[in-house]
Structure 1
């Protein structure tokens, strides 16, 4: 099953829906925190989320009952896979290194998961050859030799 991306507004509503699991439109209006959106706005989002495959509907008389089809864990897995693919070159090692570097997780936290593994910081080697050339230009040997020769000639003339 293909999972579609959610907008931030859709995601905020889905967080509420994941808690409720099964609900009616009136339940959403009651549970939504202030400021409450207009009922037509919520109805439109419900329709979109049904089309995207996050919700399913059951007709009960004149109203619809909505059920969550895609669990939150599946959506989290989808988002994490997207993040790892687009920003960490499909490397779990890179994401763990980033989490350690940014202090989102500590070495002690990682040791709890696998106490056998020794955690060493990754060496990041970055070469900025072009920047070094600009910041520290190499002097032409010919120019420096010419200057040295001129200085020697001046000293001899004096």
Structure 2
């Protein structure tokens, strides 16, 4: 499903709707923080959000029961990818540097995060290992391979 960007006002309304998940117009009016918009304004935004695919509606008599179709997590992921691509050229290094410079994260946060990720990784998962790391982790197997290779070569030279 393709997700469309939201205006600031649509995003503010979606914040209320994500908390409700399934709702009627009266629920939106009750839950919307002050200053509450006019009911016609909310109705217009609900129609727009239906068109954009953020909501679905089911007619119940004369009123609609709305349901959120795009979760907050899906929207958050979409927005991060948009931001990442537009402003950070899809570079993880650039975004991490920005977060560090703006003191939104610390180096200790990063160290803790990576320590947790390493500890939590399942053992069964096959992780590609850099050739140098492989030599460090398995020094005996590499030496054994080299020795076997040399013996074969020597044997060939002696026959010839």
TM normalised by structure 1 equals: 0.71
User: What is the alpha-carbon distance in structure 2 between the residues aligned to residue 95 and residue 35 of structure 1?
Assistant: 35
Residues 12-35 of structure 1, C-alpha deviations (whole Å, 9 max, x = no match): 000000000000001111111111
Point out 4+ residue stretches in structure 1 off by more than 3 angstroms.
none
Q: What corresponds to 1:9 in structure 2? A: 9
TM normalised by structure 2 equals: 0.71
Q: What corresponds to 2:36 in structure 1? A: 36
Between Structure 1 and Structure 2, whose CA radius of gyration is higher?
1
Gaps of 5+ in 2: 119-160
Residues 16-67 of structure 1, C-alpha deviations (whole Å, 9 max, x = no match): 0000000000111111111111111100000000000000001111110000
Q: What corresponds to 1:80 in structure 2? A: 80
Q: Residue 115 of structure 1 aligns to a residue in which SS? A: helix
Q: Residue 70 of structure 1 aligns to a residue in which SS? A: coil
Alignment root-mean-square deviation, CA: 1.4
Structure that is richer in helix per residue = 2
